[in-house]
Structure 1
């Protein structure tokens, strides 16, 4: 069994159901399958075969979806990367993957052509991008031979995702057909999806969240609506127009939607099932989502590219911010945190004590090691457990709370302080739009708790924020920020994760009209 076969099953089951939409273009499952077969046969005619890696540097457009299924049908390995990467970063990924082909579009054309200059990698262009060996439209009609279906099995690789590489070179995460199928099943169960769900393709398809939406919706004969260029108003319009039933997004996008000035103008009554992942969500935003969207299902999904599901929480009304219980295929532990990799799976901490979250690798959702990176594999995988690098703790109910990265922990005056617990308090201030907390070096304290804040109200100042924190019943005084920096924006990754390292390195400068304040 492989994903190409499962897609064929979906096509035969409900060929007339709508499958893929982008703008005015609409495809049923039967029509999409025809496009997929044309593209697959064209790729085969270029010499791309089972096990070959194909790097894609595209936005979230319908061609990306067609090529995903085409690559599955021929048994190659779909290897998507961020279309915003530099030529140097693309070159690294193409060489590391030993890619047989690279597929790109105008937005990534310059970087791709510089990256692969002198290589014998096949170049395929979408939307008439220049410098290619063949255009996508030509590819669809190139093959004179019918498609020869691959005999891939469950242990063959079907996907390779590259991690963001914020702490060094990006790492390839190879995933098998069995991994991806299991992750899709878990996603369907954990989000309570049913046949003919419909969703928006706004999460990047070079990210595990985008992959989950694509695969789970297809297995359920659902509808995927692609949005190559993201902005909040476009998403709101699409949700209303297409009457979409479910979304799986990062907190940043939820924030953009519910706080959009035109939010109340849109009828989102069809939207019943919400899921988020990729970053922490503040209690304030969780409460706003419940109030404005009134979801039937609202799930916090905690996981990674490597394993997919760690845990889920679908009772966020009772426990906002909680990561909940282990997922459908999973069990968890929290062990003594050691950034140098000295902990073992037996170093379990007590309830309520923060430590590093580790997950059982016997899950069928789990990878078995990084691509060409035995050093990273040795550090991450120990005695059958995946060491996530995330800090967390269990409460008395056995529910998991994620507290940030092991290397994000602030140690001030010998006390351990986790950014999320401080951010949750500050985010409740009515004049705060966004907040990120880090530890900055301090001669006396070692690190000083520092809050970077984007304000709704230009009159907000550090003294008002500090008084708000002093009055909070949920923040011990030693955890209160000693420095507040009002900024115009907070640096984030393409999927909405706060880039705390950039804050520590001085990326975010104070707004010109505001000054830093230390209390």
Structure 2
């Protein structure tokens, strides 16, 4: 298999004048971008980083970050990106864990980098404002270019993402060039991308979705329309102005676009393919998107940093919440909750833990420096995802939550996603998240946290739930009306913050009340 550096060269040779990158006023063809990538690679090499070393990057989705990603693929350097909102102790931990030779940062995280203790021990490169001792990115652009031959092989590590670390320290997920290329090829195939597609590059390049958008465009001589951070108005401008043909976003970003007053007047007609991942999409949002875009293809992608594509459906509109079937590079099973036996399969419509086989082309081989995590999650050549799901009568997969999010109330296992799907369809509900709050009698009580778009109270929502086919024991016993739902930088709802009370109450609503059983 080709390495990723050679993959980019392939696109340059095949279609050198094709548009490759749009960022602010910068517009580069593949040939022009490759010249810059070779020069940046030469500059990195002059600063002492080479094959097998880690380069820690803490930046927004700037064109410089995309350029450095490709330069590292040419050198065989391991791209190790972090969330630009990372705190100093997180930067210190990841620097030490990866043994990075250089850190590259931009203005968005300059204070955190300034306070990180381990930064003074390694090379520092700044994009924008600089800290004392930093080299500038512009210095790399003045370096002697490397030749146009990749230094990497398919067996070299390409990338190491850090998991979010919601419990304990974040875990490094190293992925080889062949893992990353297989995942990008599968992404192209399963999203039916054609030559010359144009995508909105707004999903963070420290997240597997962002990396996949970057790599997949190179495979099809496509254009990466770079957007440093999500802003609804700017996103709508870029979609219209640049003729974006496909979108691959988390549900939250779709929700925000549809809710913006500029959306009805924006020409989105060239967007023919929609894809989403990272979190379940409510049935209400699915319907709104289908009406707004009328896409030719509507993909629900279920995956992870560890095994990029696990399941996929190319017609998400037909079954809300359905992830379809195992992806082309993956084998999946659903096994009994609490079991560590990969053969303890559940029946159709029975919830269990989702596991993925590690022999798949996209599957990682184990966590970085974390034998404890490997022992917990890698069992008998299977990766235990920590996700709960089930197969329906048609053999299609539904993901119903995380093992840690499962609500056990009165001895019953209750999935938050099932309840959210029902409540989201109420016309007064903008967004909803359900969590289990400790209760002396029930163990946990089901609580719905609702962001409203019209006036509604708890009694009305309770009557609505009673009118649906939602089982009575799953009904929320309490509604909390919030100003906004707490979310991660990539739009995942943070249930742990709801449980711990880290949210802002909607000032225009009644106090929460407990409802009769």
CA distance, structure 2, for counterparts of residue 231 and residue 148 of structure 1:
36
* CA apart distance, 1:260: 1.8
* CA apart distance, 1:146: 4.2
CA distance, structure 2, for counterparts of residue 223 and residue 116 of structure 1:
38
Deviations 1:141-187 (A, max 9, x none): 134x7448453221110100001111111100000000000000100
What SS does the corresponding residue of 1:323 show, helix, strand or coil? strand
Match of 1:356 in 2: 353
Match of 1:2 in 2: 3
Which aligned pairs between 1:35-114 and structure 2 lie closer than 5 A?
35-114=36-115
* CA apart distance, 1:133: 3.0
Runs in 1 of length 4+ with deviation above 4 angstroms?
145-150
CA distance, structure 2, for counterparts of residue 223 and residue 142 of structure 1:
26
Match of 1:22 in 2: 23
When the two chains are superposed, the root-mean-square deviation of aligned CA atoms in Å is 1.2
Match of 1:296 in 2: 296
CA distance, structure 2, for counterparts of residue 166 and residue 248 of structure 1:
24
| Compared CA separation, residues 444 and 60, structure 1 to 2 (3 A) | same
* CA apart distance, 1:317: 2.5
CA distance, structure 2, for counterparts of residue 421 and residue 31 of structure 1:
49
Instruction: Work out which of the residue numbers 452, 463, 466 in structure 1 matches 2:462.
Output: 466
Report the TM-score, using the length of structure 2 for normalisation: 0.97
Structure 2 contact 330–361 (Cα < 8 Å) conserved: no
Match status 1:504 vs 2:499: yes
Match of 1:480 in 2: 475
CA distance, structure 2, for counterparts of residue 6 and residue 325 of structure 1:
29
Q: Structure 1, unaligned stretches of length 5 or more?
A: none
CA distance, structure 1, for counterparts of residue 229 and residue 402 of structure 2:
30
Match status 1:383 vs 2:384: no
CA distance, structure 2, for counterparts of residue 510 and residue 134 of structure 1:
45
Deviations 1:281-323 (A, max 9, x none): 0111111111111000000000000010110011222212101
What SS does the corresponding residue of 2:316 show, helix, strand or coil? coil
Report the TM-score, using the length of structure 1 for normalisation: 0.97
Deviations 1:98-139 (A, max 9, x none): 000000011211211221456421000112322243100012
Instruction: Work out which of the residue numbers 422, 425, 428 in structure 2 matches 1:428.
Output: 425
CA distance, structure 1, for counterparts of residue 185 and residue 463 of structure 2:
48
Which aligned pairs between 1:211-290 and structure 2 lie closer than 5 A?
211-290=211-290
Match of 2:484 in 1: 489
Structure 1 contact 200–247 (Cα < 8 Å) conserved: yes
Deviations 1:338-389 (A, max 9, x none): 2xxx421011111110000001111110001000001001111100100000
Structure 1 contact 36–66 (Cα < 8 Å) conserved: yes
What SS does the corresponding residue of 1:517 show, helix, strand or coil? coil
Structure 1 contact 52–99 (Cα < 8 Å) conserved: yes
* CA apart distance, 1:446: 1.0
Instruction: Work out which of the residue numbers 390, 410, 414 in structure 2 matches 1:413.
Output: 410
Structure 1 contact 286–321 (Cα < 8 Å) conserved: no
Aligned residues: 513
CA distance, structure 1, for counterparts of residue 239 and residue 132 of structure 2:
37
Deviations 1:471-497 (A, max 9, x none): 113x01111100000011111111111
Which aligned pairs between 1:303-452 and structure 2 lie closer than 5 A?
303-338=303-338, 342-452=339-449
* CA apart distance, 1:91: 0.7
Structure 1 contact 411–446 (Cα < 8 Å) conserved: yes
Which aligned pairs between 1:146-161 and structure 2 lie closer than 5 A?
146-147=146-147, 149-161=149-161
Q: Structure 2, unaligned stretches of length 5 or more?
A: none
Farther off after superposition, 129-138 or 273-282: 129-138
CA distance, structure 1, for counterparts of residue 410 and residue 475 of structure 2:
13
CA distance, structure 1, for counterparts of residue 284 and residue 473 of structure 2:
22
| Compared CA separation, residues 426 and 118, structure 1 to 2 (3 A) | closer
Structure 2 contact 6–149 (Cα < 8 Å) conserved: no
Deviations 1:240-290 (A, max 9, x none): 100110111000011111222221101111000110000000111111111
CA distance, structure 1, for counterparts of residue 174 and residue 331 of structure 2:
22
CA distance, structure 2, for counterparts of residue 499 and residue 516 of structure 1:
20
Structure 1 contact 40–147 (Cα < 8 Å) conserved: no
What SS does the corresponding residue of 1:218 show, helix, strand or coil? helix
Deviations 1:402-423 (A, max 9, x none): 0000111111111111000100
